[in-house]
Copies of this chain bind each other. A is one copy, B any other.
Amino acid sequence: MNAMDHVDKILTQWQQQRPDLNVAPMGTLGRLKRLNQSLMRRMEQTWAVYGLNDSSFDVLATLRREGPPYALSPSDLMASTMVTSGTMTHRLQQLEKAGLIERVKNPADGRGFLISLSEKGFALIDEAIVAHVETQAELVSGLSDEQRAQLDALLKQFLNSVEKQ
């Protein structure tokens, strides 16, 4: 419980080397980063079972949860997933090559496209999401429901404050 973890050791080292620095925030941000890294690696294993990774799962899931007709523009997808246009172009190329999405010219705007789930893409994401949710449940099982809710509230406030800054 109170045992020193990897991050505590880092803070102790800094305190000894640079006692002038306030390293408390470093502890919080360091754990956040390391936790995220561990969580991502675990989730990637589940995605890999379905031939997916973070990027491809992200796009397919965004289209799936949108509901019928399971279609968005690349710009909408960029906004949802926080990546640049070059990254989204690349992701869509891969997914199109794999036959998981289809693209049609946007009839309402000659500059753009609409990206939609193919039948194959729909079937795949609808199956993968079940395994993904199970993995996530397992990952948070070290916290009680109440602790998870507390964490949720703190993260929500934190995220809100950072995105406003």
* A residues whose Cβ falls under 8 Å from a Cβ of B: 1, 3, 5, 7, 10, 13-14, 16-18, 21-29, 31-40, 42-43, 64-67, 82, 126, 129-130, 133, 136-143, 147-148, 150-152, 154-165
Contacts and interface: CB of A to CB of B under 8 A. Distances in A.
B35 A159 contact: yes
Given A5-B160, A7-B159, A142-B164, 9 more contacts: A7-B156, A18-B126, A18-B129, A25-B139, A28-B151, A33-B39, A33-B40, A151-B154, A151-B155
A40 B34 CA distance: 12
Nearest to A138: B165
A31 B155 contact: yes
A69 B148 CA distance: 43
A138 B22 CA distance: 12
Contact of A130 (B21, B67, B156, B161): B21
Copies per complex of this chain? 2
B133 A161 contact: no
A25 to B, nearest CB: 4
A142 B160 CA distance: 9
A23 B140 CA distance: 12
A147 B32 CA distance: 15
Contact of A159 (B38, B66, B147): B38
Contacts of A66: 13
B82 A37 contact: yes
Given A36-B33, A155-B35, A157-B143, A137 B17 contact: no
